Amino acid sequence: MVKAVGYIDGAISGLADTRIPVADRGFLYGDSVYEVFRTYSGIPFLFDEHYQRLLNSARLIEMNINQSKQEIIDAVKRTVRASLPAAGEDVYTRYQITRGEGPIDLNPELSLQTRLVIIVKAAPQWNREFYDNGVTLAVPKLRRNSVNSLDPNIKGGNYLNNIIALGEAKKRGADDCLMLDANGLVTECSNSNVWFVVDGKLVTPAGGNLDGLTRRSLISLFADANIEVVQRPIHSKELADATECFVTSATREVMPVRALYSVGGSKIEFPSGGGQQTRQAMTIYKRMLEDFVKENKEHAWFDFFH
C-alpha cells in the first residue's frame, strides 16, 4: 500500500507530520504555483508538459524559481521512493513552489528563496459509478474570477473562488460545479475542464479556463482521428441544446456527466455513462495511455524494487 508522504526543505516524513513554517507566503497568501501528475505502471505521465506549465504559472506571477528542474526531479524521485509503492501501484504527485518565507507583508522581498513542497500518495480511485453512469454538475450563483483580475492559467495555491463554488454545488446535491464568468460564459469545473456536444459537434470553452493538459492531449487525439473539436465561447443559454457532456483532468481522465442543474434548478440530462462521442473520448484516451505504457516500459523513473 502506498504511504502518503511529504517533502519540505529536503526532509521527507509521513504526510500528517509534514510541517511548513507559518511565515511561508504559500500558507499566508496562497503565493505559490503547483502541478499534479500521476504515474501509470510507474511511469510519470506528461511530466515535461506539467513542468513547462509550472514555469508559465511562475512567469505569470513574476516568481523566480530557485530550484532547477533536475533538483525537482531528484526530490520527486526521493519522495516517491519513500512512499513505498508496490508492484502495480501508482502514485499521485503534487509538487508546489512557494515564494518562500519572509516578512509578513504583501510585498515580497526580492531576496526570498522559493520553497519546494511535495506530496505523494496513492493515485486516486474514483467512484466507479462516476464512469458507469456519470457525475452531476450544478451552476453556482458565484461567478468565476475575471481573467482581467486573475489569469486562469496561473495554477496557483489560492482556490477560494473554486472552493466556494464547489460548496454551493455540493449543497444542491451535485458532485461538482460548472462555473460561469460575469457574462454568462462557461469556464470550467472546480478543477477540471468541461466538454459538450452541441449540434453534433464537440465543443469546449475558449478562454476563462486553465489550459488543461488532459484536454490538450484529447484534442490532439481527436485530430488524429479526423474528428473536429471546436474551442469557442459557450454561453449558458446554449447548454439546454447540449446532448452530451464530460469533464477531463489528470486524475479523472475522461469522466461522463449525466446531469447539469442550472442556477434556477432546471435539469439537463445526458446519456447515462456518456453518449457516443463521450464514450469515444474515453476509449481513445484509454488506448493512448496503454500505448504510452508499452512505449515507455524501459524508461520508468522509479525503480520500486531496489
Query: Tell me, which fold does domain 5-122 have in CATH?
Result: D-amino Acid Aminotransferase; Chain A, domain 1 (3.30.470)
Where is 62: in which H helix or E strand? Answer: none
Secondary structure (3-state) at 106:
coil
Q: Which pLDDT does position 306 carry in this prediction?
A: 36
Q: Which pLDDT does position 139 carry in this prediction?
A: 98
Rg over alpha carbons for the chain, rounded to the nearest Å, is: 20
DSSP one-letter code for 109: -
Does 5-122 match 128-292 in CATH topology? Answer: no
Half-sphere exposure of 102 (CA within 13 A, CB side): 17
In whole angstroms, give the CA distance from residue 66 to residue 25: 15
Backbone angles phi, psi at 235, to 5 degrees: -85, 150
CATH number of this structure's domain 128-292, picked from the four choices 3.20.10.10, 3.40.50.300, 3.40.50.2030, 3.40.50.1820: 3.20.10.10
Report which of 80, 76, 96, 123 is spatially closest to residue 26, judged by C-alpha positions: 96
Q: Which pLDDT does position 297 carry in this prediction?
A: 82
CA dihedral 72, 303, 83, 251 (to 10 degrees): 70
Q: Which pLDDT does position 304 carry in this prediction?
A: 40
The domain segmentation of the chain, as residue ranges, is: 5-122, 128-292
Q: Please answer whether residues 171 and 140 qualify as being in contact, where contact means their C-beta atoms are separated by less than 8 angstroms.
A: no
DSSP string, 155-198: -BS--HHHHHHHHHHHHTT-SEEEEE-TTSBEEEESSSEEEEEE
Q: Which pLDDT does position 302 carry in this prediction?
A: 56
The pTM for the full model equals 0.94
Give pLDDT tens digits for 60-84: 999 999 999 999 999 999 999 999 8
Instruction: List the chain residues with pLDDT less than 50.
Output: 304-306
Q: Which pLDDT does position 301 carry in this prediction?
A: 63
Where is 43: in which H helix or E strand? Answer: strand 43-44
- Phi/psi-derived region of residue 84, left when phi > 0, alpha when psi is between -120 and 50, beta in every other case: left
Q: Which pLDDT does position 298 carry in this prediction?
A: 78
